[in-house]
Structure 1
Amino acid sequence: MNAVLQRAWKQRFKPGRLALAIHITLALTSTALLPESASAAPTATSTYSVSSGSLEQALLAIARQSQQTISFDPKRVAPYQAKPINGRFTLEQAILQQLQGTPLSVTATANGTLTIDAVTTTPPKAPTSALQAARDSGQTLPAITVSGGAEKSEDASVYNPSLSSSATRTTLALQETAQSVQVVSRKLIEDRQAISVEDALRNAGGVTLQGGNRGPNSLNIRGFNVTAGSTNGVSNPGTSANGSATGYSNIDGIERVEVLKGPQAVLAGNSSPAGSVNVVRKAPTAYPLHTVKFETAKYGEVKTAIDLGGPLNDDKSFRYRLNASTMHADHSFPDFNGKRADYVAPALAWEGDTTRLTVGAEFNVSRSSGPAATLYNNDRVQRLPTYRLGDKDNHFAGNAKTVYYELGQDLSDNWSFNSKATYLDSTMNYRIHETYAVATNGDLTTHELANKQDLNSISLQNDIRGKFDTGPLTHNILVGYDYQHLTTTSWDLYSGRIFTTGNYNNPDSLSFPDIPIPGYKSYKMVQDQKGLILQDQIDIWDKLHLQLSVKRAEWTSKTSTYPRNRTNTSFSDETKWIPSYGVSYDITPEVTVYANLLNSFQTAGALNTITKKPMPPSTGKSKEAGVKFNLLDDNLTITTSVFDIQQKNVVIYNIAGDAVGAEGRETKGFDFDLNGEVLPGWNISASYTFAQPKDADNSDQTGYKSRITAQPKHTGSIWSSYELQEGRFQGLGAGVGIEAASETLNGSTGNYFKMGGWAQTDASIFYRQPKYTVTLGVKNIFDRDLYDYSTTASYIGVKPGRTARLSVSYSF
């Protein structure tokens, strides 16, 4: 290839896209041994979402979404632009829509490959460039063959996936979504060696964690606590029923994590104005996938995982996926006893001409040690010789079993019925020693705590979706019904022992007798949520997009407590109509502006001790406007937004812990998120959030002025990696990242305290080859003492010190 041709190649074709095409083409070799019928282009319809841009990018998107092979000469399609489409089509229909108005046609080869070629006329002359010089000199460029059936999905290949279905339930380009939605892709999860969903969320702007000494950390978005989440779009049990906002899936079975910023009551029902986290499971694949992974880390931690998938018959209509992992560690930070986790997640899928069905299950058993902690005493956060306030055997244990299905049934070309359901059976246990009081010399008064919680839930989601045109308007209608029923039962110790022998300056003194099994049934809660959803996504002249929705949410709760052989029962019920509005406008194919008005409601579950009446639910309203950029041929995306979130009727408590009234809260700020590939091999994920909360003056009700705690004004993170694209050391690379936040106010009334800003630096080196990848990463590389935010002075969670992790994966 001469110098002119090389310049043409580099200017016209982005190496990042070439790398993707090469990976996809290599993966296709695994299907070459199938009969011809297996490779034939299917006539079944699928959902396609293609944005405006170049025709080349549209064909690449259709290939990825269809998991089929498309062959074309890039120079032939270079002069033409894509037509935005969003709906269900056959593969041929999707391609023909893009070829309308061009002298190009699509034909199928003997082995089923679809080829784009000229009909009779010559395409318009491309602008003068090095590419034109190469063509004028008689040189020709090779055709690129692209297959969606690659070894890696979009989430496993890029930092900036283009589509999401969590914000609207329908597959929609993130560029057109009138809301700030940040996706943590599988590639970013792997590159950062995330070990949990919470760990993966370190890459999401505006997300902060507040340490919890009795279970999972509390998750905040834009200064508000996240109370609801979903898995594959189906609501998880909320935190009001001691559920989990981040779900019950293991990180090894997750394809991506989506952060929806701002109120999500239309989707989640009873929830705070913070937003929501949607976890997307790995799905059955139409291409062979066989990967084994080995990890080892500090404290003797060893993990082995497998990821298997592929078709079960010649036409690939039956597919499967199996993820499994086992982890064991001898010890845990800083000197707790070991931890372990076992996970199995099988899934089967069948796709016919008009029907799509997936059934699956997840089994997750875990035991984690800790929590590592310090406290605020003598006017400062204590730097302990060992960050442990309880016994070495303090721990949390969980056992979660999940069964689910997802059904899609086409009713006609533009109408479909969709149904999802999830059943969860979860048991959580903890045995910890909690600090009750502390003396100036470090002596601790400690009491033992034991708790067992059984949670059973079923979540059902049904909807009918349709598409039709009215003049220049294209409507995408959704009419849905949600239902969730859950029961939570809790057991505690009737009376825990008190110990006064410990001192936080002497770790050896923090040794206590084994904690008994909890046998006192303390409460039982039964909750039901029902919701009717009406939604219309309206496209006007392909540039203006309206997203209108309303939900009639009905929430009921029955709580029974059992003090001293008595039973006290309380009931709550609320019904709300909750509207949400969003609009986006494509200024250019690369730039979109948007705005939204979102609402929320959250039940209080408390009784006003003065009026003896139930506290009314809190309501939230968020106003947001922003700009989205899709740059470098879709390789780099930027979302920037300003927001104003208000919440009313937030329950406030007096110093004795009694609910005495309600107040309003407000946070204003802005976000900046950047994700993608800047240059071939150079990937970046960066975010920054400014959030300014406003303290409410409720001293007339409580006798004091409360403060908003655990909310930094500035938070940010950046992760950047570079991989050599050619030469002797091709595949060798390194990554570095920094996560930082400004100072925060912590504690509670009468004992507020400040913690300074902080920063954590991580780094890794890796070597990637077609069959294997080796990664050595180090988190908190400078071994700094880093603390979680806290609402009490007697417990401040401590993050692990410097931790190295070696990961090796092999595909076969």
Structure 2
Amino acid sequence: MFYSLSSRGAGAGALTLVLLSTTALAQEALPTIDIGAQAASTAAARTDKAREKAESTAYARTVATAATKTDTPILDTPRAVVVVPKQVLEDNQVLNTQDAVRFVSGVQQGLGVYYDAYIIRGFSSGNNTYRNGLKLNAIPGTEDTAFLDRVEIVKGPAAMLYGRIQPGGLVNFVTKRPQEEAAYSLQEQFGSWGLSRTSLDLTGPVTADKSVLYRAMGVFDHADSWVNFEHRDKGAFSGEVSWRPSTQFEANLGFEYYHDADASRGGYAGMIPVIGTTYKVPWLTGRPAYLPRNWTQSDPQKYSQFPDVMEREMVTADWTYRFNDQWKVTNRFLYVHTNEDQQYLLAAPAALNYQTANLLRRLSWSQAMRDTWSINLDVAGEVKTGPLDHKLLFGFDYFDYHSLYLGDNPGPKAVPEIPAFNVWAPVYGGINWSVLAAQQAYAHNNKSRNQSIDAGYYVQDDISYDDFIHFLIGGRYDIAFDASSELAFATVSGSPCYPLCDGHYNPPWKGNPTYRKISPNGGLLVKLTPEYSIYASYSESFGNSNATARSASGTQFKPQEGQQFEIGAKASLLGGKVTASIAAFDLTLTNVLTADPVNTGYSIAAGKVRSRGVELDVAGQITDNISIIGSYTYDDAMVVKDNTIGTGAILGKRQPGVPRHAGNIWAKYDTAPGEKEGFSFGFGASANGLREATATNAYALPGYVRFDTMIGYRTLLEGHAVEAQLNVVNLADAKYFDTTVNSQYAVYGQPRTFIGSVKVKF
């Protein structure tokens, strides 16, 4: 008797155990044991992990889950989506989330950024970002870059999958997850402005059978700034445990904690005043004042007296059950609690006397407490109807955001506690901090509350014919609600906070009627060859920008709504090592509030903004030694309908913060790719055209070109991998403005900066 183990036509992955007698070889085999479903499920569960491991050091990624919430390849997705892998972030030593997106076409840093916000295809993302596909609101530094695996950017309206969202698109931060193979690393970064940053990353199995995995990461970051009196002290921890009792089921539970004392957040200390039209030297008007980059309106005692501190705790959980290699269900959960002490010494619009050059300052203080719940349930599967293959998605998500503000944001007034100073020859000091502390305590009686709730149901079908034609269609039904209130105690002369916190009012809680919206999405893609595809798509979105506004009649405005038509082409070159895409889009935003021509002081939803452009992205390994990532953007974003007249007219004006032309390129040369010892060299350039700084286009931020470079060396030291790296940001020390705040102040971009790093892997 002997045994034969073989695979016999029982379907993919089927395994047949045959027991034969030496005397009866012709007899029929014993009943088969079909373990095909389990084998297929195992293969499906490991496919994503194998792909991620293969792409871990690459510049090109082939899949972005944010675009369709499925594992559809980017080449088969009929809309623009770009991925920035962690290798690009590490090679550039990117230390914050704002810089993490600068490699992508059509994406700019938001204006006056305090919370994470971006301008995508000409429109602000608001204060919304996404973490592993779940929505966050009003978060400064969504994720520490040491915790990131990649950044996914979906461009254009994405309401079909994500509910209320601004029309430009979304930024999704994907975090590192526990790994089956043990790996430990310690990194120390150092450089200009006293940078000292320590990162620890530990991952591996907890049990011998690798059914329980863990990952623990921590960061401590301290630095000053090129702006006088700016400091930051940050600490962050991320821990996650994965449980995989079988190949069909996986669950993850995570926790993150952030303590962030950052006087540089938002760039408020370094706000450069813009010279207005009343200045006595006409040719200097309409531009930021010619002040040095280290100039500040802050004070050397501000950081110690009124530090800006944010604490954030986050709990995350998700689980996936694979019924087989075709169907699975995934549930995701996120809860965030944030405490913020926002304290800034800064000016406000119209605070500068152009004749005397005296600037009035104010101490803005508020305490914000936020709670965010974000939940998602997806059922995804594949079916076949005749010659058509269907990749189906059924989903539900729920978002609940609550906030409570305590404090005051007084306007600039001539008060003895905060003396004015000359912007050309500032004299610091002389601030009565004890009086300000008493005023701050009293101002905490001022309260305001906000609430935002959104629940949505969606269905999507990716229909494929012979992997030649892909038709993506989907729809969503949303139920949305917003409410806000403000409660401020009346103040009189002689009270502890007079005169800084006077003039408040007591409006009642304002709740908007529940708003319901259907959001469609559709796209057609044709694969000309296995490496090239062309597509066309249409998508819609709606936001909450008009949530608390009212017309003269007191009726609620509909949310702003976006519509986009897009065509494009994609390519997967050199065996998938290089990805490239080009897209042309026409995106409009309607229901934009504009002045009511009949009722002065009120608004009507008659405004319209249009953004048209072309985007090009390329990333990957063009030779064994050379990797690149780059982009180019042309965007003509302007107001095409508005009723405002006079000096505030914006009809025909360009969108603030949006250059007509922008581009960047980064290339790395590795002397021994894949080897444990070798050198690497990197060089890149980023260029931005002129950007209007205000809605009325009253002044603009000039264009600029910035060069960056890198040199790295890796080797083995006593059996441990050691990596040393030096980056120089803004190599030529170009002097440029990065963004604008409150329409009357500009913020300088980063001067020449050195960042060194030593990483040891165990």
Local SS of the residue matching 2:737 = coil
| Kept in 1: contact 2:595–2:644 (CA 8 A) | no
1:777-792 equivalences in 2 (<5 Å): 777-790=727-740, 792=742
> 624, 638, 645: which one pairs with 2:580?
638
* Further displaced range: 740-749 or 357-366: 740-749
- The equivalent residue for 1:438 is 352
Distance 1:292 1:618, change over 3 A: same
- The Cα of 1:525 is off from its aligned counterpart by 1.1
Provide the rounded CA distance (Å) in 2 between the counterparts of 1:290 and 1:257. Answer: 23
Provide the rounded CA distance (Å) in 2 between the counterparts of 1:439 and 1:558. Answer: 38
> 667, 672, 691: which one pairs with 1:720?
667
> 440, 448, 453: which one pairs with 1:528?
453
Q: Which amino acid aligns with 1:802?
A: R
| Kept in 1: contact 2:669–2:680 (CA 8 A) | yes
> 502, 508, 511: which one pairs with 1:568?
508
> 267, 272, 295: which one pairs with 1:387?
295
1:58-69 equivalences in 2 (<5 Å): none
| In the alignment, structure 1 residue 608 sits paired with structure 2 residue 550 | yes
Local SS of the residue matching 1:279 = strand
| Kept in 1: contact 2:364–2:410 (CA 8 A) | no
Local SS of the residue matching 2:360 = strand
Provide the rounded CA distance (Å) in 2 between the counterparts of 1:654 and 1:743. Answer: 31
Q: Which amino acid aligns with 1:674?
A: V
- The equivalent residue for 2:746 is 796
Identity in percent: 23
| Kept in 2: contact 1:186–1:254 (CA 8 A) | yes
- The equivalent residue for 2:22 is none
- The equivalent residue for 1:374 is 272
Local SS of the residue matching 1:187 = helix
- The Cα of 1:696 is off from its aligned counterpart by 2.6
Distance 1:474 1:507, change over 3 A: same
Q: Which amino acid aligns with 2:580?
A: I
- The equivalent residue for 2:88 is 188
* Further displaced range: 694-703 or 783-792: 694-703
| In the alignment, structure 1 residue 165 sits paired with structure 2 residue 65 | yes
> 221, 235, 246: which one pairs with 2:120?
221
1:194-215 deviation per Cα after TM superposition (whole angstroms, max 9, x unaligned): 00111111111111113417x2
Distance 1:216 1:748, change over 3 A: same
Provide the rounded CA distance (Å) in 2 between the counterparts of 1:226 and 1:588. Answer: 35
Provide the rounded CA distance (Å) in 2 between the counterparts of 1:610 and 1:510. Answer: 47
| Kept in 1: contact 2:366–2:409 (CA 8 A) | no
Q: Which amino acid aligns with 2:529?
A: T
- The Cα of 1:709 is off from its aligned counterpart by 2.1
Q: Which amino acid aligns with 1:411?
A: F
> 750, 756, 769: which one pairs with 2:702?
756
* Further displaced range: 506-515 or 570-579: 506-515
- The equivalent residue for 1:487 is 402
| In the alignment, structure 1 residue 689 sits paired with structure 2 residue 633 | yes
| Kept in 2: contact 1:375–1:793 (CA 8 A) | no
- The equivalent residue for 2:388 is 473
| Kept in 1: contact 2:360–2:412 (CA 8 A) | no
Distance 1:653 1:396, change over 3 A: farther
- The equivalent residue for 2:328 is 416
> 659, 683, 686: which one pairs with 2:603?
659
TM-score (norm 1): 0.78
1:234-264 deviation per Cα after TM superposition (whole angstroms, max 9, x unaligned): 1213xxxxx24x8632111111111110011
> 504, 509, 522: which one pairs with 1:581?
522
- The Cα of 1:609 is off from its aligned counterpart by 4.6
Provide the rounded CA distance (Å) in 2 between the counterparts of 1:309 and 1:666. Answer: 47
1:320-357 deviation per Cα after TM superposition (whole angstroms, max 9, x unaligned): 1111111122x222222421111111101112132110
Local SS of the residue matching 1:480 = strand
| In the alignment, structure 1 residue 333 sits paired with structure 2 residue 277 | no
- The equivalent residue for 1:457 is 372
- The equivalent residue for 1:307 is 201
| In the alignment, structure 1 residue 322 sits paired with structure 2 residue 263 | no
Distance 1:728 1:166, change over 3 A: closer
| In the alignment, structure 1 residue 266 sits paired with structure 2 residue 168 | no
Distance 1:553 1:375, change over 3 A: same
Local SS of the residue matching 1:252 = helix
- The equivalent residue for 2:540 is 599
Distance 1:147 1:365, change over 3 A: closer
1:374-428 deviation per Cα after TM superposition (whole angstroms, max 9, x unaligned): 1211413212133312224366421111001111112345322210000110122
Distance 1:277 1:210, change over 3 A: closer
Provide the rounded CA distance (Å) in 2 between the counterparts of 1:221 and 1:88. Answer: 43
Provide the rounded CA distance (Å) in 2 between the counterparts of 1:147 and 1:182. Answer: 18
Q: Which amino acid aligns with 2:208?
A: D
| In the alignment, structure 1 residue 769 sits paired with structure 2 residue 715 | yes
Provide the rounded CA distance (Å) in 1 between the counterparts of 2:98 and 2:644. Answer: 38
- The Cα of 1:793 is off from its aligned counterpart by 4.6
* Further displaced range: 658-667 or 648-657: 648-657
1:731-759 deviation per Cα after TM superposition (whole angstroms, max 9, x unaligned): 1121111111111222354x701232111
Provide the rounded CA distance (Å) in 2 between the counterparts of 1:504 and 1:475. Answer: 65
Provide the rounded CA distance (Å) in 2 between the counterparts of 1:149 and 1:728. Answer: 20
- The equivalent residue for 2:694 is 747
Distance 1:311 1:452, change over 3 A: same
Q: Quote the RMSD (CA, aligned, Å).
A: 2.8
Q: Which amino acid aligns with 2:563?
A: K
Provide the rounded CA distance (Å) in 1 between the counterparts of 2:566 and 2:446. Answer: 45
| Kept in 1: contact 2:123–2:166 (CA 8 A) | yes
Provide the rounded CA distance (Å) in 1 between the counterparts of 2:465 and 2:605. Answer: 47
Distance 1:255 1:742, change over 3 A: same
Provide the rounded CA distance (Å) in 1 between the counterparts of 2:156 and 2:124. Answer: 11
Provide the rounded CA distance (Å) in 1 between the counterparts of 2:452 and 2:193. Answer: 41
Q: Which amino acid aligns with 1:90?
A: A
1:68-147 equivalences in 2 (<5 Å): 90=39
Provide the rounded CA distance (Å) in 2 between the counterparts of 1:728 and 1:424. Answer: 41
Local SS of the residue matching 1:200 = helix
Distance 1:615 1:512, change over 3 A: farther
Local SS of the residue matching 1:267 = helix
Provide the rounded CA distance (Å) in 2 between the counterparts of 1:358 and 1:442. Answer: 58
- The equivalent residue for 1:131 is none
1:47-66 equivalences in 2 (<5 Å): none
- The Cα of 1:702 is off from its aligned counterpart by 7.4
- The equivalent residue for 1:506 is 425
The size of the alignment, in residue pairs, is 668
Q: Which amino acid aligns with 2:378?
A: D
| Kept in 1: contact 2:483–2:548 (CA 8 A) | no
- The equivalent residue for 2:9 is none
Provide the rounded CA distance (Å) in 1 between the counterparts of 2:578 and 2:412. Answer: 57
Q: Which amino acid aligns with 1:347?
A: E
- The equivalent residue for 1:175 is 75
Provide the rounded CA distance (Å) in 2 between the counterparts of 1:736 and 1:616. Answer: 48
1:505-557 deviation per Cα after TM superposition (whole angstroms, max 9, x unaligned): 22433764445345133310122110001111112112211221111011111
TM-score (norm 2): 0.83
Return 5+ residue gaps in structure 1 as ranges.
Answer: 1-47, 49-86, 96-113, 115-145, 238-242
| In the alignment, structure 1 residue 342 sits paired with structure 2 residue 284 | no
Q: Which amino acid aligns with 2:147?
A: G
Provide the rounded CA distance (Å) in 2 between the counterparts of 1:672 and 1:149. Answer: 29
Local SS of the residue matching 2:160 = helix
